[in-house]
Amino acid sequence: SAVISQKPSRDICQRGTSLTIQCQVDSQVTMMFWYRQQPGQSLTLIATANQGSEATYESGFVIDKFPISRPNLTFSTLTVSNMSPEDSSIYLCSGSGRGRDNEQFFGPGTRLTVL
């Protein structure tokens, strides 16, 4: 496996603003993913972060709202744009390609509250 760090760990933001979350892996991974977890819910995949190209977004998520970058094999960012209270969630970064099957290992998450 690998170790993933994420920052910030938590933030409280005002509606209409944007927040960029950083995800750093301590070694190269094949795939990186961004998830949203709304309170009391399971994980929902936002997008797959592709190195050097546009991310692949899941249904219901768009690049204008959640722009993602992945400049290399160990780093990615997710921006939550023009935030509203409905964006209050835990945002999780994960990586895969170093374990069995498609095992994903996760960062500690970013707990976002939008007022």
Q: How far apart are CA 51 and CA 68, in angstroms?
A: 10
Report the C-alpha dihedral over residues 45, 51, 64, 9, rounded to 10 degrees. 60
Residues 42-101 that bind another protein (CB under 8 A): 42-43, 45, 48, 90, 92, 94, 96, 99-101
Q: How many other C-beta atoms lie within 10 A of the C-beta of residue 28?
A: 13
Closer residue to another protein, CB minimum distance, 26 or 103: 103
Stretch that binds another protein, among 18-26, 61-69, 80-88, 107-115 (CB under 8 A): 107-115
Residue type, 77: T
Residues 18-37 that bind another protein (CB under 8 A): 30-31, 33, 37
Q: Please count the residues of this chain forming the interface with another protein, following the rule CB under 8 A.
A: 26
Q: How many other C-beta atoms lie within 10 A of the C-beta of residue 68?
A: 24
Of 61, 77, 81, 108, the residue at the interface with another protein (CB under 8 A) is 108
**DSSP codes of every residue in 52-63:** TS--EEPTT--T
**Interaction site with another protein (CB under 8 A):** 1, 30-31, 33, 37, 41-43, 45, 48, 90, 92, 94, 96, 99-109, 111
